[in-house]
Amino acid sequence: MDNQNMTKLIYLVPLFPLIGFLINGLGRNFLSKSLSAFVGSGSVLASFIMSVLIFMEAKTPGFSVVTVKLFDFIKTAKLDIPFSFQVDQLSTLFLLIITGVGFLIHLYSSAYMKEEQPHHYARYFAYLNLFVFSMLMLVLGSNYVIMFIGWEGVGLCSYLLIGYWFKNGDYNDAAKKAFVMNRIGDLGFLLAIFWMLGQYGSTDFISIFSRAGDTAPAVLTGITLLLFVGATGKSAQIPLYTWLPDAMAGPTPVSALIHAATMVTAGIYMIARSNILYTLAPVTPMIVAVIGLATALLAATIAIRQNDIKKVLAYSTVSQLGLMFLGLGVGAYTGAVFHVMTHAFFKALLFLGAGSVIHAMHHEQDIRNMGGLKKHLPVTHLTFLAGCIAIAGIPPFSGFFSKEEILGGVFAHNIVLYIIAVFSSLLTAFYMFRLYTLTFLGKFRGTSEQEHHLHESPLAMTLPLIVLAVLAVLAGFLGIPELFSTDAHWLSNFLAPVFAESTVHQQAHVVSHSTEWMLMGGMVAATLVICFYAINKFRNYEKTGIEATGFAKVLENKWWVDEIYDAIINKPLKGFSLFLNNVVERSGVDGIVNGVGKFVHYSSRQLRWLQSGQVGSYILIMVVATVVFFIIQLFGK
Amino acid sequence: MGITVVLFWFLTALAILSALMVVVSKNPVHSVLWLIAVFFAISGHYIILNAQFLAIVNLIVYAGAIMVLFLFVIMLMNLNSDTEPQKNRWLKIAGGLAGGCLFLVIIAGLKETEMKLQVAQVKTGDIGLIENLGMVLFKDYVLPFEISSVLFLSAMVGAVVIGKKD
Amino acid sequence: MPINYYIFLSIALFCIGVVGVLTRRNAIIVFMCIELMLNAVNLLLVAFSKMHYMSSVLVNPASTAGADAQIFVFFIMVVAAAEVSVGLAIIVMMYRNIHSVDINFLNRLKH
């Protein structure tokens, strides 16, 4: 089959970043900065080129799923888990996103991290390459175990990169928090894998999905719920989302790549991949949708009162992820994947733009001290505006198309969910434009020293911004809904084979075209109103030192979720471990160990009495022993 | 009941009684004398079994030499029943008990053997005669015989060395 | 004479010797009880030698089947004599030092 030539070379795609990781990691004391950047970015570029070639093949009609086996990973009598990659439409799409956006961010980082020392610089690129490698493993794996390897790998790299500036104790705490919360989710994922092994005897996608129809609903519910627990950890949903805002302690390009475009979408990918399981499970989709929606709403409410530019974007990410999960929960799989793609573009754009602003403001991140940057940072300003418009969902930018698809699916499913989803989308528009206005419009509120240093970022940083802005604007046209022109939804057609089974089982919710026009129109109008309202409200913002009161205070303190977690979970656990240390360890374990010593001491003192030196007693013992031996010999069997 | 059987039981009783008196006597000199009685009884048993050579050797060596040596030592130390140290009562009971257990265990163990019906020949039998024993001794066991002379030499030297007053 | 009788007699004498060793404190009496034990064994050996001789002479009139045991008894007596001489020398020396033959005094080995 000649449309599989490139596909057979799929192993090259994760191989390049792995080599980049090794070179940068092992040679970090020898390589110059430009060489490290070249190796790091070049490897991802090479992967991107391979991904494009493979995508070309996957695009041709009649392309069937290809499994490329590399070697036997675990092979015993009962268990066969090969190390193989599955190349199909879903994974090639994700490949493009990961390597494409990844390359742009590598390019951006080469300028952003210029102030670091050479060996730290090389370490940064090594970690980034390792991350890309793990993420590629995650999406390419043909069974849940390989996916889990990538899953763990991205969790590790997230920890390494959040705590990149390891000399700061707070950053290390944030990194630990991210890792521990990820781990909690991973436990759910692992349990799901074990259950699958018990139920199906294999973790292979193809073999499990073909047998999904014969499984008991209770088993399906259990497995999908456990998988979803893993997804909540990785993709920052309630209750495991608090690590994501704290993860902003890492360098901004890291936040862009990991916590906006790729790692956090791993959960979406996993559920999209397992779509048949979720369609057939009775209760889980509803749970997924509800949790996604709740997260979207909660994060949006918190975001409207955050003052750190990156924190706003972080909560926005959590909120958008919630929206994607909502889409998955109602069965709009294509819509969710579409939104992953567009979100990768505009969220990375927004983060990189924020990085540009922070760079210009010389590491200032509080938006109350910004303002009026439009004049000084023109390229950043325009691209950031493009990103804001896209995320708000204003046509014809990409966010509009993907959001509408999800919202359409929600409306067809359940009106109440739809209303709440619309409300959180409007909140999104509000806080994004608040952010935009406070940062770029109005008067500059920082110190005059900062004002002197304001300058546009170098080309290596602005070029990715421009590319991503173009994508954020145009990507929507990949998914033109039925409403506008029939059969123009390229993405849906492309991904159809992946979701074919699910589509069969789902009821087709038909919403009349007129209703759709109405909803869409109403939505756009409301969004535009909110945007202008936000711009107006914050255009003349004056920095006041007044503390927030009432409900605003609750929002500003993130609904005190972190504090609640601390009280409910951290303190009891700490108390428990203190108890274990003082009581069990000291008295118990130490007691046993010391007790053995004391016992030996004591018994030896007692035994010493035997050696009395009295010959008579020696002989007595001798005779007794002889009697005993006789008894054993003569009467023992 | 032939005379042999009567003699056998008489000698048995004498041996056991004398042995008990050895252990029980307070005066060491009495113990020695009772031991000599035991030796006589055992020699009597040897004669019944027609082990003539051993009977005579037993009397000469044991009763004649060894017991006399014991008597010399006792007389040398001037021991009599006054100076006899007494053992702790519990230890005596324990000792008696241990010995009794040993006795019972071995007897019980013997119940399993098949030798109950075998008979030891009495009154006749050539192997007890001195010529036959001599033949065996000097043909098959000449080496141990010679080495025993070395043993005696070492014992003599040892006794002299230990007993020297320095 | 059934061999059993000799076995019982020998065991009885042996155990009486054991009791004597355990019970008495005078070193010389202990020594004498050891001699008693040796003799019990001698008696048993001779009895067995006659037993074997008897069973083999029925088959082959010229056999000397039980002679080994009697030679063994002979050598036991040899060794006993040597042992007594050395042992008594030791006891005499001990008496010379501590003027007592109480075996409990021998715990000086411990120091």
A280 and A253 in one domain?
yes
Residue of chain B whose Cα is closest to the Cα of C45: B46
> Out of B16, B92, B136, whose CB is closest to C12?
B16
> Taking CB atoms and an 8 Å cutoff, what residues of chain A touch B87?
616
Instruction: Tell me: pLDDT of B84 over 60.
Output: no
Sign of CA dihedral A601, A603, A608, A609: positive
Is the CB of A612 less than 8 angstroms away from the CB of C22? Answer: no
Instruction: Tell me: pLDDT of C82 over 90.
Output: yes
A594 and A484 in one domain?
no
Any A CB within 8 A of C91 CB: no
pLDDT tens per residue across span C13-46 = 999 999 998 888 888 898 999 999 999 999 999 9
- pLDDT at residue number B61: 92
- pLDDT at residue number C106: 66
- A93-123 as b/e: b if 16+ CB within 10 A: bbbbbbbbbbbbbbbbbbbbbeebebebbbb
- pLDDT class of A487 with cuts at 50, 70, 90: low
Q: Give the C-alpha separation, A49 to C84, whole Å.
A: 105
Name the strand (E) or helix (H) holding A80.
strand A80-87
At residue B166, the 3 state secondary structure works out as coil
% of chain A with per-residue pLDDT over 70: 95
At residue A75, the 3 state secondary structure works out as strand
Expressed in angstroms, the distance from the first to the final Cα of chain B is 62
Query: Is-cis flag, bond preceding A217, omega within 30?
Result: no
> Taking CB atoms and an 8 Å cutoff, what residues of chain B touch C80?
61-62, 66
> Out of A612, A620, A623, whose CB is closest to C107?
A612
A588 and A547 in one domain?
no
User: Is the complex ipTM higher than 0.85?
Assistant: yes
At residue A356, the 3 state secondary structure works out as helix
> Out of B87, B91, B102, whose CB is closest to A623?
B102
A266-273 helix and A333-360 helix, angle to the nearest 10 degrees: 170
- Residue numbers of C between 2 and 61 with CB closer than 8 Å to B: 2-9, 11-13, 15-26, 28-29, 31-33, 35-36, 39, 42-43, 46-51, 53-55, 57
- pLDDT class of A613 with cuts at 50, 70, 90: low
pLDDT tens per residue across span C26-35 = 888 989 999 9
DSSP state of A166: T
Residue of chain C whose Cα is closest to the Cα of B77: C95
Q: Give the C-alpha separation, A462 to B139, whole Å.
A: 117
Q: Give the C-alpha separation, A524 to A397, whole Å.
A: 12
Residue of chain B whose Cα is closest to the Cα of A631: B105
pLDDT tens per residue across span A437-464 = 888 887 787 777 777 777 788 888 888 8
From A258-272, A395-409, A541-555, A614-628, the region with the lowest mean pLDDT: A541-555
Instruction: Tell me: pLDDT of C110 over 60.
Output: no
- pLDDT at residue number C66: 79
A352 and A451 in one domain?
yes
> Taking CB atoms and an 8 Å cutoff, what residues of chain A touch B108?
634-635
Q: How many CB atoms lie within 10 A of CB A545?
A: 5
> Chain B: nearest CA to A612, how far in angstroms?
14
Instruction: Tell me: pLDDT of C76 over 90.
Output: yes
The answer to whether A97 touches A340, Cβ cutoff 8 Å, is yes
- pLDDT at residue number C3: 83
Instruction: Tell me: pLDDT of C72 over 70.
Output: yes
Q: Give the C-alpha separation, A288 to A237, whole Å.
A: 10
Average pLDDT over residues A274-284: 86
Instruction: Tell me: pLDDT of A104 over 80.
Output: yes
A218 and A162 in one domain?
yes
Single out the residue of A298, A343, A328, A276 nearest to residue A497, CA to CA.
A276
Q: Look at A130 and A614; give whichever has higher pLDDT.
A: A130
Torsion, Cα A481 A482 A484 A490, to 10 degrees, reads 50
> Chain C: nearest CA to A596, how far in angstroms?
29
Checking A510-516 for CB contacts under 8 A at 24+ apart, the result is A510/A412, A511/A408, A511/A411, A511/A412, A513/A483, A516/A408, A516/A481, A516/A483
Average pLDDT over residues A558-568: 81
Question: DSSP alpha helices (H): ranges in A212-283?
Answer: 217-234, 243-246, 252-256, 266-273, 275-280
Q: Does domain C3-110 have CATH number 3.40.50.1820?
A: no
Q: Give the C-alpha separation, A231 to A240, whole Å.
A: 9
Instruction: Tell me: pLDDT of B120 over 70.
Output: no
Any C CB within 8 A of B101 CB: no
Is the CB of A630 less than 8 angstroms away from the CB of B109? Answer: yes
- pLDDT at residue number A608: 79
> Taking CB atoms and an 8 Å cutoff, what residues of chain B touch A631?
105
The answer to whether B103 touches B31, Cβ cutoff 8 Å, is no
Name the strand (E) or helix (H) holding A199.
helix A169-200
Instruction: Tell me: pLDDT of A169 over 70.
Output: yes
Instruction: Tell me: pLDDT of C65 over 80.
Output: no
Average pLDDT over residues B130-157: 90
At residue A281, the 3 state secondary structure works out as coil
Residue that is written with structure tokens 């439009």 in the block:
A374
Q: Give the C-alpha separation, C19 to A627, whole Å.
A: 13
> Chain C: nearest CA to B155, how far in angstroms?
5
Q: Give the C-alpha separation, A294 to A291, whole Å.
A: 5
- pLDDT class of A530 with cuts at 50, 70, 90: confident
> Taking CB atoms and an 8 Å cutoff, what residues of chain C touch B119?
1-3, 51, 54
> Out of A614, A619, A620, whose CB is closest to C107?
A614
A351 and A317 in one domain?
yes
Average pLDDT over residues A493-501: 79
A290 and A350 in one domain?
yes
Residue A620 inside a domain? The answer is yes
**Mean pLDDT for all residues in chain B:** 85
Dmax (CA) for chain C in angstroms is 62
Any C CB within 8 A of B152 CB: yes
Residue of chain B whose Cα is closest to the Cα of A636: B109
Residue A425 inside a domain? The answer is yes
- pLDDT at residue number A485: 67
- A521-531 as b/e: b if 16+ CB within 10 A: eebbeebeebb
- List the subunits that have 3+ CB pairs under 8 angstroms with A: B, C
Residue A58 inside a domain? The answer is no
Sketch the domain layout of chain C as residue ranges: 3-110
- pLDDT at residue number A569: 83
The two counts, helices (H) then strands (E), for chain C are 3, 0
- pLDDT at residue number B166: 67
Q: Give the C-alpha separation, C5 to C43, whole Å.
A: 12
Residue A407 inside a domain? The answer is yes
Domain count, chain A: 2
- pLDDT at residue number A548: 66
- For residue A186, give its domain range: 143-504+511-556
A358 and A417 in one domain?
yes
The answer to whether B37 touches B16, Cβ cutoff 8 Å, is no
DSSP state of B65: I
Instruction: Tell me: pLDDT of B8 over 80.
Output: yes
> Taking CB atoms and an 8 Å cutoff, what residues of chain C touch A618?
none
Max mean pLDDT range (A501-505, A543-547, B9-13):
B9-13
- pLDDT at residue number B114: 64
- pLDDT class of A72 with cuts at 50, 70, 90: confident
The answer to whether A293 touches A338, Cβ cutoff 8 Å, is no
% of chain A with per-residue pLDDT over 90: 14
> Out of C18, C22, C111, whose CB is closest to A616?
C22
- List the subunits that have 3+ CB pairs under 8 angstroms with B: A, C
> Chain A: nearest CA to C15, how far in angstroms?
10
Any A CB within 8 A of B134 CB: no
- State how far the alpha carbon of A187 is from the alpha carbons of A176, A195, A228, in Å: 16, 12, 11
Q: Give the C-alpha separation, A442 to A630, whole Å.
A: 107
- List the subunits that have 3+ CB pairs under 8 angstroms with C: A, B
Instruction: Tell me: pLDDT of A347 over 60.
Output: yes
Instruction: Tell me: pLDDT of A541 over 70.
Output: yes
At residue A204, the 3 state secondary structure works out as strand
Q: Look at A479 and A207; give whichever has higher pLDDT.
A: A207
Any A CB within 8 A of C16 CB: no
Sign of CA dihedral C70, C71, C73, C78: positive
Average pLDDT over residues A580-596: 83
Instruction: Tell me: pLDDT of A488 over 90.
Output: no
Q: Give the C-alpha separation, A18 to A5, whole Å.
A: 22
Is the CB of A620 less than 8 angstroms away from the CB of B101? Answer: no
Q: Look at A288 and A372; give whichever has higher pLDDT.
A: A288
Any A CB within 8 A of C26 CB: no
A550 and A586 in one domain?
no
**Mean pLDDT for all residues in chain A:** 85
Q: Which residues pair with A84 in a beta bridge?
A: A69
Q: Give the C-alpha separation, B99 to C15, whole Å.
A: 5
pLDDT tens per residue across span A183-223 = 999 999 999 999 988 888 888 888 888 887 787 888 888 88
Is the CB of B127 less than 8 angstroms away from the CB of C5? Answer: no
Chosen for mutation from B42, B60, B124, B138 (greatest number of chain C CBs closer than 10 Å) is B42
> Out of C7, C19, C81, whose CB is closest to B95?
C19
Residue A395 inside a domain? The answer is yes
Residue A436 inside a domain? The answer is yes
Cα angle: A21, vertex A100, A177; to 5 degrees: 60
Q: Give the C-alpha separation, C10 to B46, whole Å.
A: 13
- pLDDT class of A508 with cuts at 50, 70, 90: low
Instruction: Tell me: pLDDT of A611 over 80.
Output: no
pLDDT tens per residue across span B23-67 = 988 888 899 999 999 999 999 999 988 888 999 999 999 999 999
Is the CB of C18 less than 8 angstroms away from the CB of A623? Answer: yes
Instruction: Tell me: pLDDT of A578 over 80.
Output: yes
pTM as predicted: 0.68
Q: Which token pair is A27?
A: 């040679």
Chosen for mutation from A611, A615, A630 (greatest number of chain C CBs closer than 10 Å) is A615
> Chain A: nearest CA to B106, how far in angstroms?
7
A404 and A519 in one domain?
yes
- pLDDT at residue number A75: 82
**Mean pLDDT for all residues in chain C:** 86
Any A CB within 8 A of C22 CB: yes
Residue of chain C whose Cα is closest to the Cα of B33: C32
Question: DSSP alpha helices (H): ranges in chain B?
Answer: 3-24, 28-48, 52-57, 67-77, 89-110, 130-140, 142-163
Residue of chain C whose Cα is closest to the Cα of B25: C29
Establish, for the pair of chains B and C, how many residue pairs have beta carbons separated by less than 8 Å: 245
- pLDDT at residue number B113: 67
Chosen for mutation from B87, B93, B102, B105 (greatest number of chain A CBs closer than 10 Å) is B105
Residue A321 inside a domain? The answer is yes
- State how far the alpha carbon of C68 is from the alpha carbons of A137, B126, B132, B148, C64, in Å: 88, 13, 11, 16, 8
Residue that is written with structure tokens 């956090």 in the block:
A264
The answer to whether A21 touches A41, Cβ cutoff 8 Å, is no
A523 and A609 in one domain?
no
- pLDDT at residue number A561: 81
DSSP letters, A545-609, are -PPP-THHHHHHTGGGHHHHHIIIIIHHHHHHHHHIIIIIIIIIIIHHHHHHHHHHHHHHHHHHT
A573 and A468 in one domain?
no
From A296-300, A354-358, A548-552, the region with the lowest mean pLDDT: A548-552
- pLDDT class of B107 with cuts at 50, 70, 90: confident
> Out of B87, B98, B108, whose CB is closest to A624?
B98
- pLDDT at residue number C15: 93
Q: Give the C-alpha separation, A106 to A258, whole Å.
A: 12
pLDDT tens per residue across span A109-156 = 888 888 888 888 889 999 999 999 999 999 998 889 999 999 999 999
Instruction: Tell me: pLDDT of C109 over 60.
Output: no
- pLDDT at residue number A409: 85
Query: Is-cis flag, bond preceding A572, omega within 30?
Result: no
